[in-house]
Structure 1
Amino acid sequence: MTGSKEVKNKKTIIIISIVALVIILSLSAYLGYIYKYTLGWNNIIYSDVKVESIDLSAKTKEEAIELLKENYGDAILNKKLSVKALDNNYEMDYSKLESKYNIEEVVEEAFDYGKDSTMLGKYKILKSNSGKEIDLDFTYDPTYIDEFIEEVSTEVNVAPTNAKLSMPSSGNFNVSEDKSGYEIDKEALKNDIVANINGKVDEKVEIEAKVDEIKATVSAEELSKINSKIASFSTKYSHNSTNDRAVNVELATNAINGKVIMPGETFSYNDIVGERTVEKGYRNAPVIVGNKVEDDLGGGICQVSSTLYQAVLRTGLKSVERYNHSLGTSYMPLGLDATVDFGSSLDYKFKNTFDSPIYIEGVTSKDRVLSFNIYGNSASTGRTYEIVSEAYETINAGVKNVEDPNLPEGQTVVEKNPINGTKVKVYRKVYENGVLIDTEFLSNDTYRSIDGIVRVGTKKP
C-alpha cells in the first residue's frame, strides 16, 4: 500500500510540475507578447490620444507636429478677422498678430502619455483605448491690434466741414453746405477685437465698429439766418494821418473783415488781429503811451478797435472787455474809444448773445474812411440805439515852471500848453419803434490831464 501511495504522489507532482511549467511558459509567452507589443509603441504616440479632436494614435513626434501645424499652426495664420466700419470692410490678418499654438509642447505631452507606466500598465492603456484629449493653447502678440485700429481710423475718421459764408458783394451772401464728420470709437473696437480673437481656425469673425457722427459746428442753416445789416459805424483816418498809420489801419481792418461770430462765441480783437509784426507788414506810427504820444509798431490800430466797438454797441450787444485810452483821441469823442495792446491785458471783446450768428464786414476806402458793417438776422433789428457821452468832471492840469539858464532873466516861454483831463460817463439809449424804452449805463472813463511846461529865463544881463 505504501508503494502505491508513493507512485500516486509522484504522478501528482509530475502533473503539477507540468501544469506549472505550462503556466510559466504561457505566462512567459504572454509577457513576451506584451513586452513586444508595448515595445512597438515606444517611439510613437499611444492609441486614442487626441489633440483638439485630431487623433495622433501611432504618430511619431515629427508626424504629429506636422499634422497639427497643417490643421492649426498654418491655418491660424490664414485666418481673418473682419471689421465693418460705415460701408467699408477691413480685414485683420492673424499672421500679423504672430498667432501661434504650443504645438511642440502639446506633442511632447501626447508622446509622454503612458510612457512612465509599468509594462502591464502600458499594455492596459493601449488595449483599453482610454486615451487622452489635450487642448492647444493659443497665443498672440496684441501689439498689432493698435496698429490695425490706427489704420482703420485713418481711413474712417474724417473731420466735419463747417458751412462757410462769403459775401461776393456788400449785403449779398453765399452759404456753402456743411458736412458731418466721422470718428471711430477706438476703445470699443479694441475691446471687441480682443474679445473675438481666438484659435478657432474655422470660425469667421465679423465685428461692426462703433463710428460716431460728428456734426459740423457751423451749419448752413445757421449761417442762412444772416440776412440783414443790423449796425454800422465809420471814422476817418485821413486827417493828420501818416501813410504808415494808414497801412496799419487797413491791415487790422482786413484781418477782421469776413469774421463770423456764432451764438455764444466771444470775439477777441487781439486773437483775431494777432500780433502786430513787421513780417505782417505793420509799420511804426504814433500811439498813446501813458500821457504822451510816441511811435511804435502798429500805431493806429486802436482806431480800428474803437470803430468796431461803436458798430457793435449799435447792435445791442454788450462788451465783455473794453478799455479807454489814457488820453483823448482825435478820431473819437471821449468815452467812445477802445484801446488794445497785444501781449498785455488790453483787449476788446464782445459776446454774441443773439440766437443767430453775426458777420463783420470791415471796409477801408480810398479817401481813408474806415467802416464796419455788422450783419445778422432781421429779427434783431427792431430796436435802434444812440450812444451818449456825458463829461461830468474836469481834471485841471497844472503848469510846471522850469528854469532855463539860456533865456534872459524875466523872460518866459510856453513849452507845452496844459491839457485838462475829463471824467466821462457813457450811456446807450434804446429805442423801439422810435420810442425810448431804456437807458443803459456803459462805462465811466477817466482821461488824464497833462501839465503844461513854462520855461523861465534865469540868464543875467
Structure 2
Amino acid sequence: MEGTNNKTRIILILAIILLAIILGLGFYGYFKVLSTDLIYEGVKVDQYDLSYMSKEEAFNFIKDKKEEEISRKHMRLIYLDKEYNYGLKELGFYFDYGKAIDRAYGVGREGNLFNRLKEIVRIKRDGVEISLDSNLNMEKIDHIVENISQDIDKEPKDAEFHFNGGNIQVTEEIIGKTVDKDKLRQMMYDNIHSLDIIQIPVEDIIPKITKSLLSRINGIIGEYSTSFKGSSQNRIENIRLSANAIKGKILMPGESMSFNETTGPRAKKYGYKEANVIIAGEFTPDVGGGVCQTSTTLYNALLLADIAILERSPHSIPAKYVKFGQDAAVAFGFLDLKFRNDFDFPIYFDSKVLGDRVYFYVYGDRKSKDYTIKIEPEIVETIPAKEEIVLDKTLEPGSKVLVQQGRTGYRVNTYKSIIKNGKTISKDLITKDFYRPRNFIYRVGEEPSTTTSTDTDSGLNNLIEDDESENIIEDGDIEN
C-alpha cells in the first residue's frame, strides 16, 4: 500500500513539473511574441499578406507590388475625334504606403497584456485586412485640365455683315467651345479607381451676332439727305468726316448709340477743319463747323426709320437746310444726338457725300417695318424781332448805326405720323421747339436837347448779358 502511494506521488510530481514546463514554455513564447518587431500573422494590406515582416520589408513589398500595378493603368478621356490617355503616375496618383504599414504594424499592439494576446490569437485565426489609401496631386490634374482646355477651347466668332454698294453679304458665325474645367477635374478625381472612359464636358458658346440675325437687314427703312451747297471746303470736309464715322455701324436690338461718342471730339488732330459754328447766337469760325448738318441729316433718317430718339436739341438759330423743328444740334460735351434700336432686328447705317448733298440710309428688316413715317413740323407762333435804340452822343444827331442784327423767333411743334397701306394709323407730337427771337439794336445820334436814361454803355452791356445765355458752341450751320 505504501508502495502504491509513493508511485502516485511520483506521477503527480512529474505531472506538475511537466505542466510547469509547458506553462513556462507557453508564457515564454507569448511574451516573445508580444515583444517582436514583426507584423503579426494574419495581417494583410490590400490582400497582400505581411505576416512576420518588418515594417521596412512590408513597405518595400507593398510598394513593389502596387507601383507595378499603377504603371499598367491609364485614364482615357474623349471629345469627338480627340483622345487623351494619361497614366496614373501622370495624374499624380499615389498610395499612402507609410500610413498603411503603420496601421498593419499596430494591429495587436494596443491594450493590456491579456487583450493583446487575445487579439493576436484572433488575428491568427480570422485574419485582418488593412485598406491602402490613395490620393491625387491636384496640381498635376489642374495642369492636365488646362492643357486639354487649350487644345479644345475655341473662341466664338460673330457672323459678319458685308455691304458693298448696296450688295449685302453675311458670313456664318462660328460657334465657340469651352471645356467645363471644374466639372472635368471632379470627373477625373471620381474616376481614379474605376478608370472608366471620360467624355470631356464641353459647352457651346453661341455668338451674339448670328447669320440669321444679320440676314434680317434686307433693305432701307429710312433715308434722308440735305444740301450743303455754298459751303466752304473745310465745312464739307467736316461733314464728310463725321458722316464716315457713322457709316458702317451696326446697332443690335436694344443697343444705343451716341453721335458724339461715335464721331469723336471735334479737334484738328482728328482731321476736323475750321468752319463756322454758332457761339452765343452768332456764326464764328471754329474747328468742327458743319457737323450739325451731319447730325441733323442722320436725325431725320432715324425719324423716318422709326428709331427711338433718346436725346436731341434744336439749334439756337434755325437751320437753313431743313424745316424748322427737324434739326438736331450737337456740341461735344454739351449737346448730343442719342438713339436706341427698339426693333428685334439689327440696323445698319450707310452714308455718302455726293455732289452738294450728304445722304444717310438706315437699313433693317423691311418685312417687319412695313409702314412709312411722315414728319410734319407746324409753326405755332412767330415772334417778330423788336428794335432797341441806344442813344450815342458820339454820333451825329439823327444818324443810325446797326449794332446787332435781329431775327424772328418761332415756336414749332413737330408731329410724326405712321402710315400703313395708305392710311394714317397714328399721329403724335414728338417735339416742341423754341427758337428765340433777337432784337435789332441800333445806335442813334442824340439830339442836343434830348435826355434819356439809356446810354451807350448800359445798352451794350445788356446785349452782352443776353448773348451769354446762348454761350454753347453748336457745331455749325451756314447762313444761306
Q: TM-score, normalised by structure 1?
A: 0.81
Q: Does 1:182 align with 2:177?
A: yes
Q: How does 1:361-372 map to 2 (within 5 A)?
A: 361-365=350-354, 367-372=355-360
Aligned partner (choices 13, 16, 37) of residue 17 of structure 1: 13
AA partner of residue 226 (structure 1): I
- Structure 2 gaps, min length 5: 449-480
AA partner of residue 40 (structure 2): Y
Match of 2:245 in 1: 255
Distance 1:187 1:277, change over 3 A: farther
Aligned partner (choices 293, 298, 310) of residue 300 of structure 2: 310
Distance 1:19 1:229, change over 3 A: closer
Q: Does 1:217 align with 2:205?
A: no
Q: Deviations over 1:89-121 (max 9, x none)?
A: 445675576544332122122123224564992
Match of 1:452 in 2: 440
CA contact (8 A) 2:42 2:124 kept: no
Q: RMSD of the alignment, in Å? A: 3.7
CA contact (8 A) 1:45 1:60 kept: yes
**Residue 175 of structure 1, CA deviation:** 2.0
**Residue 197 of structure 1, CA deviation:** 5.1
Aligned length: 447
Match of 2:413 in 1: 425
CA contact (8 A) 2:386 2:440 kept: yes
CA contact (8 A) 1:65 1:103 kept: yes
AA partner of residue 363 (structure 1): K
Distance in structure 2 (CA, Å) of the matches to 1:435 and 1:406: 66
**Residue 55 of structure 1, CA deviation:** 1.8
Q: Deviations over 1:280-339 (max 9, x none)?
A: 323444333453444554332221121112122223444343222232123322111112
Q: Percent identical across equivalent pairs? A: 31
CA contact (8 A) 2:329 2:335 kept: no
CA contact (8 A) 1:163 1:223 kept: yes
Distance in structure 1 (CA, Å) of the matches to 2:392 and 2:63: 108
Match of 1:69 in 2: 63
Q: How does 1:124-135 map to 2 (within 5 A)?
A: 125=121, 128-135=124-131
AA partner of residue 311 (structure 1): A
Distance 1:11 1:351, change over 3 A: closer
Q: How does 1:4-43 map to 2 (within 5 A)?
A: 5=2, 8-32=4-28, 38=33, 42-43=36-37
Distance in structure 2 (CA, Å) of the matches to 1:344 and 1:250: 22
**Residue 359 of structure 1, CA deviation:** 2.8
Distance 1:226 1:123, change over 3 A: closer
Aligned partner (choices 377, 380, 384) of residue 389 of structure 1: 377
SS in 2 for 1:372: strand
Match of 1:163 in 2: 159
Distance 1:442 1:156, change over 3 A: same
Higher relative contact order (CA 8 A, sep 6+): 2
CA contact (8 A) 2:42 2:123 kept: no
Match of 1:373 in 2: 361
Q: TM-score, normalised by structure 2?
A: 0.78
Distance 1:78 1:164, change over 3 A: same
CA contact (8 A) 2:41 2:124 kept: no
AA partner of residue 369 (structure 1): R
Distance in structure 2 (CA, Å) of the matches to 1:299 and 1:67: 91
Distance in structure 1 (CA, Å) of the matches to 2:278 and 2:63: 85
**Residue 124 of structure 1, CA deviation:** 5.2
Q: How does 1:132-151 map to 2 (within 5 A)?
A: 132-143=128-139, 145-151=141-147
**Residue 44 of structure 1, CA deviation:** 2.3
Distance 1:458 1:129, change over 3 A: farther
Distance in structure 2 (CA, Å) of the matches to 1:345 and 1:331: 19
- Structure 1 gaps, min length 5: none
AA partner of residue 415 (structure 2): Y
AA partner of residue 206 (structure 2): K
Match of 2:455 in 1: none
Q: Deviations over 1:139-178 (max 9, x none)?
A: 4454555555444444433333222222222x22222222
Q: Deviations over 1:389-418 (max 9, x none)?
A: 221112344445556675456543212211
CA contact (8 A) 1:175 1:223 kept: yes
AA partner of residue 62 (structure 2): L
Q: Deviations over 1:410-439 (max 9, x none)?
A: 543212211122111112345455565554
Distance in structure 2 (CA, Å) of the matches to 1:241 and 1:279: 20
CA contact (8 A) 1:106 1:134 kept: yes
Q: Does 1:208 align with 2:202?
A: no
Q: Deviations over 1:56-79 (max 9, x none)?
A: 222221222123333446765886
AA partner of residue 359 (structure 1): Y
AA partner of residue 401 (structure 2): V
Aligned partner (choices 296, 309, 312) of residue 322 of structure 1: 312
Distance 1:385 1:111, change over 3 A: closer
Distance 1:210 1:98, change over 3 A: closer
**Residue 344 of structure 1, CA deviation:** 4.2
Distance 1:138 1:259, change over 3 A: same
